[in-house]
């Protein structure tokens, strides 16, 4: 099977034209697409570990959630990024980044997250990048359910937050989704809680000042991309993609908290 068969299908499912304006989702090394697929590596970040993994398994297609850079100057100033991009062309590897084209697709990150959390009532169409969902449980039960998801390594919320005894409706934006924009704050206040990640200190202060009930589940949760894309590839190309041709590049590090 040629590499193009996979990239064409993936890009039909998650068109790059749908990425957010700031993003750098793209396909690198188009000339390589006519080659036969050796192996495909799926990862959340193409870091040093996945760089070595691609070389070890001779993967000639890499599908990554995050881009290696947003600022194009990093391609010149960051030695590792420059080395990785040189390797794409020297060793015939195509590099496909989906990022927000995947995150905000109706069949992308949030739909898969709701499936993992066993939430059936949700709107696949976001408001200002926030997805609405319905639940009927306590905060304690929700946190317990969140912690059952493999990639949620933290759950944080404010001691001053005033959560209802029974949570009924919420918003979620995976990744770094907190906003201090007045229109977004007005939206948050219409719901029992907001789930997102990577809150900065200034965002916590903003949440205190505006009485926003926000839960921070970190950024590592976006590694659900690896499992989801892997499942989709197996389902679509089950008769053409051998198990040994699919490499799942899970993180090889942990951030130690003491």
Pairing state between β 94-97 and 27-28: antiparallel
Left (φ > 0), alpha (ψ -120 to 50) or beta: where does 192 sit?
alpha
Please state, in angstroms and rounded to a whole number, the distance separating the CA atoms of residues 58 and 18.
31
72 known ligand binder? no
Burial (0-12, 13-18, 19+ Cβ within 10 Å), 87: middle
Taking alpha carbons only, the member of 103, 27, 37, 68 closest to residue 246 is: 37
Helix (H, G, I), strand (E, B) or coil at 109: helix
| Residue 153 in marked binding region | no
User: Any idea which residue has 């970040």 for tokens?
Assistant: 45
222 is in an annotated binding site: yes
- Answer yes or no: is 103 a known binding residue: yes
**Please, how many CA atoms are within 13 Å of residue 237, restricted to the half-sphere of its CB?**
22
3-state helix, strand, coil in the chain (%, to 5): 40, 15, 40
Residue 100, CA atoms < 13 Å, CB-side half-sphere: 16
- H and E: helices and strands count for the chain: 10, 10
| Beta carbons of 177 and 196 less than 8 angstroms apart | yes
Residue 250 labeled ligand binder: no
Binding site, annotated residues for a divalent metal cation? 65-66, 103, 219, 222
Binding site, annotated residues? 65-66, 103, 219, 222
């Amino acid at each position: 099977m040629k590499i193009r068969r996979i990239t064409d299908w993936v890009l039909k499912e998650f068109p790059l034209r749908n990425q957010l304006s700031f993003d750098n989702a793209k396909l690198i090394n188009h000339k390589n697409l006519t080659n036969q697929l050796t192996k495909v590596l799926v990862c959340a970040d193409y870091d040093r570990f996945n760089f070595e993994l691609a070389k070890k398994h001779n993967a000639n297609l890499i599908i990554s959630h995050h881009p290696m850079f947003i600022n194009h100057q990093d391609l010149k100033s960051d030695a590792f990024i420059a080395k990785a991009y040189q390797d794409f062309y020297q060793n015939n590897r195509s590099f496909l980044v989906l990022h927000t084209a995947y995150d905000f697709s109706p069949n992308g990150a949030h739909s898969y997250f709701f499936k993992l959390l066993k939430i059936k009532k949700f709107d696949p169409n976001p408001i200002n990048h926030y997805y609405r969902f319905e639940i009927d449980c306590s905060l304690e039960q929700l946190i317990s359910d969140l912690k059952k998801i493999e990639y949620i390594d933290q759950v944080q919320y404010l001691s001053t937050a005033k959560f209802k005894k029974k949570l009924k409706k919420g918003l979620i934006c995976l990744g770094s989704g907190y906003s201090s924009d007045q229109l977004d704050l007005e939206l948050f206040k219409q719901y029992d809680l907001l789930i997102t990640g990577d809150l900065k200190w200034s965002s916590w202060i903003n949440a205190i000042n505006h009485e926003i009930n926000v839960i921070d589940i970190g950024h590592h949760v976006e590694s659900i991309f690896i499992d989801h894309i892997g499942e989709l590839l197996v389902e679509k190309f089950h008769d053409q993609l051998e198990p040994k041709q699919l490499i799942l590049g899970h993180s090889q590090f942990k951030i130690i908290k003491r």
